Structure 1
Amino acid sequence: MKIPEDVIEQVRSQVNIVDVVSQYVQLKQSGKNLFGLCPFHEERTPSFSVSEDKQIFHCFSCGRGGNVFKFMMEIENLSFPEAVKKVAEMEHLDVDSKYFTDAAPASRETSEQKQLIELHEQAVKLYHHILINTKMGESALDYLHHRGVNDETIDLYQLGYAPQQRLLKPFFDERQADYQLLRKSGLFSETQDGKLRDRFVDRVMYPIRNGTGQTVAFSGRLLAKDSDMPKYLNSPETELFNKRKILFNLDLARPNIRSKQPALLFEGFMDVISAYQGGIKSGIASMGTSLTEQQIYDIQRITREVIVCYDGDAPGQKAIKRAIDAFKQTDHQLDLKVVSIPDGMDPDEFIRNRGADKFQTLLQQAQSPVDFDLNYLKQEANLKTEEGQAAYISEALKLISTISSGISQDLYLNRLADSFSIDKQVLKQQLQPLIRKNVTKRANHQIPAAQPVNQSPQKRDKVTVAQMQLLNRMLHNHDVWVKVSGISGFSFVDEQYQMLYLLAEGYFSKFDQYNVATFSNLITEDSLQTLLIDIDMMNLPEEPSPMEIDNDLDVIMNRAPVETKIKKKQAELKQASKIGDVDKQRQLMVDLLKLEQQKRTKEQV
C-alpha cells in the first residue's frame, strides 16, 4: 500500500531534521545553519550543512542534499517507505502499520547485499539458539556466565555458539540457499574440491554489526584450548565486512555518545560488553587491528570526547601509544584522554573484580595523551645514567612543545625541572626552537578544521545560473511564478529544470505555500532532488528586482537557444575532425562564425 502524501507530510512536519541528523553527525551552529563533518564522504573541514528553517541538509563538497527522509535513505541505505517508517519510529510518532507491510519496497542495498545480510541474521539466530537452548551449547553458556555475562546481555548482543558438529551448512542446505552466495558470505571455508564447510567450529560467537545494526560478520572465540588454533577468529573480508572500517558496538553506543557521554575506545569485545552490562554504554572497539583513519573519522563525526581504555599490561600500553600516534596523524579535533588500568588488568577483568563504579572513577581520572606519553617514555628510558636522563628530557621537551596552551607548557616544564633538578630557564631555551618548528609545521601541513566550509558554487555558465536563479525566485515568490508561467510557450532550456518546473506546478495545485522539504517528497529521482537543494541553497537577495527576472528570462529565452546551437555545432566539428571530413569542417566553421556573431549581437542589445 502506497503511503498517502498527507501521512508523509504529517510525519515530516512533526520531525525536526536537526534532531535526526544529530544522532549521526555532531553539529555546531555557524550563522543561520548548523555544520558538521559529512557522513557520506571523508573530510577534515566541516562542509555538511543542516538548515533548521528549511528542514533540509546539504553538503557543499559531495553535493548530497534533501529532507529528513532523504537523509535517512542515504545514511542507512533505505527505500523511501522504510525511511518514513524509521523516522516515525525514531520520533515515536503513531503511523498506521498497514502502510509498512508486505507492499513496502525493498531497501536500496543491492539484492546480493541484502541476501548476504539475511544469511548472517539467520546464522545469528541459529548460533544463539544453540547457545541458549541446546545441550551442545551448555559449555559455551557456562563460559559466558563464568565471565560474568548475564542472560539479558547475552540476548542483547545475540551471542551464540558454533558447535563442533558443523550445523550451519546443513541448516542453509535445508533452506536451499544459493551456493555462490554462501561462498561469498565468509561463513564457510572452501575445500579443494569446492565443498563448503563451517568456518567457525567450537567457538563462542560474537555477531559484528555495522553502524546501522545489521550483522555483517562474526568473531569466534575458541572454547577449548588448542595451541594450533587462533584464540579469536574473525570473518574474512567480504562485500559487507571491512575490518578497517567497522567499530564494534557503534550501533548501540551511538545514542549514548550523542547524549554527551565520551566515546570509550576499548581493545576487546568483552571489554565493551562488560562495560555495557555495568551501565557504561558508550564503549566501542576496533576489530583486533590498530586503529585506522576511517575509524577515527567515524568517531570524530559523532563526538569530540574520546577516552582510550586499553589493557593495563605492557602490550596494552604499547597499543595505547599506537592509538595516540594514530590520532595525531589525522590532525583530529578531539578531546583525547587515556585511562590507565591498574595492576596490568584489562577493562573487562577490572569491571568484574572491582565493579563498574570503580571503573567510572578511573574514567574521571583519565589523563591527557601528553601525560601518558611522558610516563611511557619514562618507563622505556634508562634513567640511571646521565645519557638516559638526557635522552628522556630531550624527548619530553618534544612532547611539551606540541601543547598549544602556554600555561600547560609552563606546568610541564616545572615538573620536568623539579624531577631532574634542572634550571627551568635552561629547559625553556631548549623548548623555544621546538615550539617554532611545530608552529611552522602546522602552518604548512594542517587544514584548519574549526571553521565550516561554506563553499561558493562551482563555476557555472550564464544559462545554468539564469535557470537556477529564476526557478528559485518562482518557487519562493508567487508574483514571479505568475509572471513566468503566464508567458506563452515558456520553457527552461535544460530538461532537468523543466521537469522541476512541471513538478512544481503539481505541488502548487495542492499547496498554497512553498516548503522545500515538502516539495522534495514529490521528487523520486536523486539527481533532481540534489538539483532542487542546490537551487534552494543559493545565496540571493531576499527580494528579486524586476531587472533580475527580466535578465534571467532574456538569457533563457533569447541567448540560450544560440548557445545551445553553438555547443551542438562544436560537438559536430569535433566529430568531423576525428574522421577527417574536411568539407564538413569548413561548413561547420562558417556556421559557428555566424552563431557567434548572433550571440554578440544579442549580448549588445
Structure 2
Amino acid sequence: MNSPESPFFNKGHLLYNFDQARGPIRAGQPAMIFEGFMDVISATIAGAEGAVATMGTALTETHVKDLAKITDRILLVYDGDAAGQKAAKRSIPLIRQQAPQVEIGVISLPDGRDPDEVRREQGVEALKAALDDGVLTPTEFLIQAAKNGKNLENQAAYLDFLKEAWPILAVASPVEQDYFLRHFSEDYGSDLAALQSEFQAYQENQPSQGPVETGSQNFDQPSDWVAPSGWSDNDLPAWQPEEGNSGGSQPYLATAPVQQFDSTLTRVERAEQGLLMAMIKSPAMLTYVKSLPDFAFVHPEYQLLMMLFEAYQQQAGPDFDLAGFLDFVQKPDLNQKVMAIDREFGTLEVQRDAVDDYLRVILKDAPYESQMATLDKKLSLARNQHDNAAIIQITTEIINLKRTYSHK
C-alpha cells in the first residue's frame, strides 16, 4: 500500500478489512493477521472471517492493542518466505508485550507460498486445510525457524542450533521444554541428561530480566485469565463509549487503576465471577443467562450463589445490597467469595458484550481446562514412574490439545 500518510490515513493505526472482520472476531473467531490484501480476500473466501492485514507496514503496538480489545487469540499467517518468517518472529514478542492476555498461534504455509498463491494454485479447500490444520505454537515455529538452513547432522551446525534454541525454550512452558529436549535427544542422538544439564546451565547464567524477545509467547502458557473485550489484565476498567461513538455497544477502556486480578484463578473461574456479578447487578442479565438452555456454572459454588441470590431477591426486592446479601447467605466460605467478586467486579458497569464474552470463555474453555488438568495428572504420574514412553506420548497430547484450542 503506497498511499501517502496523512492525519486521516495512518498505516500504523489501520488494519485492512478490520471493519468486516470485527464482528466475527468478537463472536469468537480468532483474529488472523496476513501480510497482503489479496491474502485476506483469499482467506475470507476460504472461511476465515477474522482475516485482517497490515496496510503495507509492519505490525504495530496500535494494531495489537486494537485487536486485543476484542479477542484473546491472534494467529499470525505470514508468507512462507524469509521475509514472512522474519515478520512472524518480530510479531510474537510484540503481541506478548502489548497484550499479555492474548494467546498466539503461527500458521506457516509450505514451500514459501502466500495464502493467495495456495488458493489460486491448489484451490480453496487446500487453503482452508492449511489454515485449519497448520497452527503452531510460537515455540514450535521458532524452533523450526532455528533449524532452517542448517545441516543438523553436522556437529558444529547442531551446536549452533542449540545456542539458538536455549533462549526460545527458556520462555516456553515446562511441558514444551521437556517435549523439545526429548525430541532433540531422539532426533539427533544427544544424551537427554546432557541436554537437560546444558539447558539448565543456560538458564542459571541468564540475568534476571524480562522475557527474551525471540521466544516471548503467551500461547505456550495460557494465562489464568482471558480478559473480556476491552479489558486490561492489570487494570479493572470502567466502560465508556468508543471515541466517535457516543452510544455504541463497543467497550472503550478507561485507564483508572484498580486492584489487580487474583492470578490463582483459572480464566473460566474468572469469567464465572464476572458473569455472576453481572447477573447480580442486572435483572436483565440474570433473565438472559437463565434463558440459555445449556448454561450452568462449572464450579458449583457459583451455581449455588446464583440460586441464593434469586432467593434473596424474592425476599428483599430487585435492588442489590451487599451487606444484606451476606447476612442472607450466612456461610463464611461463600461470603468470602462474594466479597472477593465485589472487590474486583463491583465497580464495573454491566454490558451485554462483556456478558457474552464471559459466556464464551465458560462454554468454550471449560472442556479445555478439564482435559489439561487430566493430562497434567497423567504426566506427573508418568514422571514419578520414570515412564519415558508415556511422558513423550502425554506431552505430545498436550501440545496437540493446545494447538487445537488455539484455533477454536
In the alignment, does 2:29 pair up with 1:261?
Answer: yes
Aligned to 1:200: none
In the alignment, does 2:189 pair up with 1:421?
Answer: yes
Distance 1:386 1:537 in 2: 60
Given candidates 13, 25, 32, the residue that maps to 1:245 is 13
Shift of 1:257: 0.8
Q: What value does the CA root-mean-square deviation take over the aligned residues?
A: 3.4
In the alignment, does 2:71 pair up with 1:303?
Answer: yes
Query: 3-state SS of the aligned residue for 2:136?
Result: coil
Give the letter for the 1:388 counterpart: A
In the alignment, does 2:126 pair up with 1:358?
Answer: yes
Query: 3-state SS of the aligned residue for 1:302?
Result: coil
Runs of 4+ in 1 over 3 A off after TM superposition: 328-331, 380-385, 433-440, 442-446, 448-457
Distance 1:456 1:334 in 2: 20
Aligned to 2:161: 392
Give the letter for the 1:420 counterpart: Y
In the alignment, does 2:139 pair up with 1:379?
Answer: no
Do 2:12 and 2:63's aligned partners in 1 also have CA atoms closer than 8 Å? Answer: yes
Do 1:402 and 1:438's aligned partners in 2 also have CA atoms closer than 8 Å? Answer: no
Query: 3-state SS of the aligned residue for 1:307?
Result: strand
Give the letter for the 1:251 counterpart: D
- Provide, for residues 53-83 of structure 1, a one-character-per-residue CA deviation record: whole Å limited to 9, x for no partner: xxxxxxxxxxxxxxxxxxxxxxxxxxxxxxx
Do 1:279 and 1:356's aligned partners in 2 also have CA atoms closer than 8 Å? Answer: no
Q: What 5-or-longer segments of structure 1 have no aligned partner? A: 1-218, 220-232, 458-512, 515-535, 539-605
Shift of 1:289: 1.4
Aligned to 2:110: 342
Distance 2:22 2:91 in 1: 20
Do 2:21 and 2:52's aligned partners in 1 also have CA atoms closer than 8 Å? Answer: yes
Aligned to 1:402: 171
- Provide, for residues 361-395 of structure 1, a one-character-per-residue CA deviation record: whole Å limited to 9, x for no partner: 22232111111111111114353542221111121
Do 1:306 and 1:336's aligned partners in 2 also have CA atoms closer than 8 Å? Answer: yes
After TM superposition, the structure 1 stretch with the greater mean CA deviation from structure 2, 375-384 or 239-248, is 375-384
Distance 1:443 1:385, change over 3 A: closer
Given candidates 45, 49, 67, the residue that maps to 1:281 is 49
Query: 3-state SS of the aligned residue for 1:264?
Result: strand
Do 1:266 and 1:284's aligned partners in 2 also have CA atoms closer than 8 Å? Answer: yes
Give the letter for the 1:399 counterpart: I
Shift of 1:410: 0.6
Distance 1:390 1:419 in 2: 14
Do 2:171 and 2:211's aligned partners in 1 also have CA atoms closer than 8 Å? Answer: no
* Mapping of residues 474-489 of structure 1, within 5 Å: none
Distance 1:245 1:318 in 2: 21
Shift of 1:243: 0.7
Distance 2:22 2:205 in 1: 38
Query: 3-state SS of the aligned residue for 2:12?
Result: coil
Give the letter for the 2:131 counterpart: L
Aligned to 1:327: 95
Distance 1:456 1:240, change over 3 A: closer
Distance 2:207 2:129 in 1: 36
* Mapping of residues 48-447 of structure 1, within 5 Å: 219=1, 233-234=2-3, 236-330=4-98, 332-365=100-133, 366-383=135-152, 385-403=154-172, 405-435=173-203, 440-442=208-210
Shift of 1:324: 2.5
Which structure is larger by alpha-carbon Rg, 1 or 2? 1
Query: 3-state SS of the aligned residue for 2:19?
Result: helix
Instruction: Give % identity.
Output: 33
Aligned to 1:532: none
Do 1:311 and 1:347's aligned partners in 2 also have CA atoms closer than 8 Å? Answer: yes
After TM superposition, the structure 1 stretch with the greater mean CA deviation from structure 2, 243-252 or 344-353, is 344-353
Distance 1:444 1:451 in 2: 21
Do 1:291 and 1:323's aligned partners in 2 also have CA atoms closer than 8 Å? Answer: yes
Do 2:46 and 2:127's aligned partners in 1 also have CA atoms closer than 8 Å? Answer: no
Do 1:244 and 1:287's aligned partners in 2 also have CA atoms closer than 8 Å? Answer: yes
Paired positions, count? 230
Distance 1:420 1:294 in 2: 42
Distance 1:537 1:282 in 2: 32
Distance 2:5 2:24 in 1: 29
